[in-house]
Amino acid sequence: MRTTAFISQSALAHNLALVRRLCPHSKIVAILKNNAYGHQFECISPLIERADFLALSHLSDCAQLRAITERPILLLAGVYNARELQQASALNCHIVVHSMMQIGLIIHTKTPLNIWLKLDTGMHRLGFLAAEYRTCLAEISKNPLLKIICTMSHFGCADTPKHPLNDLQLTQFIQRTEGQNSPRSMANSAAILTQSSALFEFVRPGIMLYGISPFGKSDPNLKAVMTLTAPIIAIKTLAAGDSVGYGAIWTATQKTTIALVNIGYGDGYPRHAKNGTPVLINGVLCPLIGRVSMDSICVDISKINLENNLKNNVKINDRAILWGDEKLPVETVARWSDTLAYELITGLSARIRFAKSA
Ligand SMILES: *Cc1c(COP(=O)(O)O)cnc(C)c1O
């Protein structure tokens, strides 16, 4: 009865199909960084089999993914020394090139290399600024073994569709790639959902493939892929005045039935989840009470007994759902914890068991 994350295969297929419908003229680079946003490479075969490209940020993840698929892999942060270049090339990865330092590493390559050039169009994270980019193109043209597959850039504010930086970045990108005949790529999930003019030849969806909205509120067109569950390991009834957990931060004001659920911050459940954060137990949303411990949380289940007029309706070993049900999207838990769904799904610990579900 371990704490388990179920990964829905049909939801993965559904979300990928939605991207195809939204971007009928683009190839899909499925972003699988951080072990598929915490969903585990072994559990996401519909993405691995059906996307056009798979993208990761760390070379160490590439070896793990390459062991299970022959499909093209793009290394988003590129390589940083000759050994990494050799490894990436041995794993048959395409590499992003975003700096003159990386140009220096690859320029004398004696084996063919597929490269994706990254432009900084205003986010000011990775990418060539305008002046550098001209030098970079001149250098690359000297070695015919360097093949530019795509020119890409990344939005800084796509999750705020009206933010003025979006248009500025898009204009920059179009201007700087004008007259170039290689394909282009700009859109992450938020842009795929809101900026049809930013789709180009390749799109790069991440979070939406896992059924999570980049906008912080669940999207009915997406299907949650991960359902995080944990067993109930104790049930007890408190009297008015009894407090719960470390620091005794919650006190019963009336007779209260509580359930102890076997998940805590040591598993990746957010310690900052506030009192009141919903937990789904036997179909009913019940509030978290007291502090989140390392291995457990406490939930007020009085409501279940009241609503159903049943005693002992909840039993030890029943499974609580922490997130991933229609009634309890991970976006909701993220809001109650002052964080993003991205952080919750990538923060699960090695103690969680992963299992595929339909
Ligand atoms: C993470 C990432 C994406 C995907 O972003 P989402 O918001 O998860 O869709 C796309 N492109 C790059 C370069 C990324 O690093």
- How many other CB atoms sit within 10 Å of the CB of residue 24? 7
Q: What is the pTM of this model?
A: 0.95
Give the 3-state secondary structure of residue 282: coil
Per-residue pLDDT tens over the stretch 226-282: 999 999 999 999 999 999 999 999 999 999 999 999 999 999 999 999 999 999 999
Region 40-60: mean pLDDT is 97
- What residues contact 24, with CB distance under 8 A and at least 6 apart? none
> Is the model's pLDDT at 48 over the cut of 80?
yes
Q: CB neighbours of 164 closer than 8 A, spacing ≥ 6?
A: none
291, pLDDT greater than 60: yes
Question: Across-strand partners of 227?
Answer: 6
Closest CA to 343 of 276, 269, 280: 269
Kindly tell me the burial class for residue 241, based on how many C-beta atoms sit within 10 Å of its own C-beta (0-12, 13-18, 19 or more).
exposed
> Which string of DSSP letters, residue by residue, matches 224-246?
--EEEEEEEEEEEEEPTT-EESG
pLDDT digits (tens, 9 = 90+) for 216-226: 999 999 999 99
Max Cα–Cα distance, the chain, nearest Å: 79
Closest CA to 262 of 333, 352, 329: 352
Give the helix ranges, DSSP H, for the chain.
9-22, 33-37, 45-50, 59-66, 82-90, 100-106, 130-140, 164-177, 189-194, 302-308, 330-336, 341-346
CB-based contact 224:333 (threshold 8 Å): no
Whether 246 is a known active-site residue: answer: yes
Q: Which two tokens stand for residue 204?
A: 């790069």
pLDDT at 306: 64
342 is catalytic: no
* C-beta 207 within 6 A of ligand 1: yes
> Which atom from ligand 1 is nearest to the alpha carbon of 208?
9
What size, in residues, is the chain? 358
Q: Which atom of ligand 1 is nearest to the CA of 159?
A: 7
Ligand 1 pocket, residue 78 CB under 6 Å: no
Sign of CA dihedral 191, 192, 194, 198: positive
β-sheet bridge partners, residue 174? none
Question: Which is catalytic among the residues 80, 147, 236, 246?
Answer: 246
Is the model's pLDDT at 144 over the cut of 90? yes
Smallest CA-to-CA distance from 305 within 313, 295, 315 is with 313
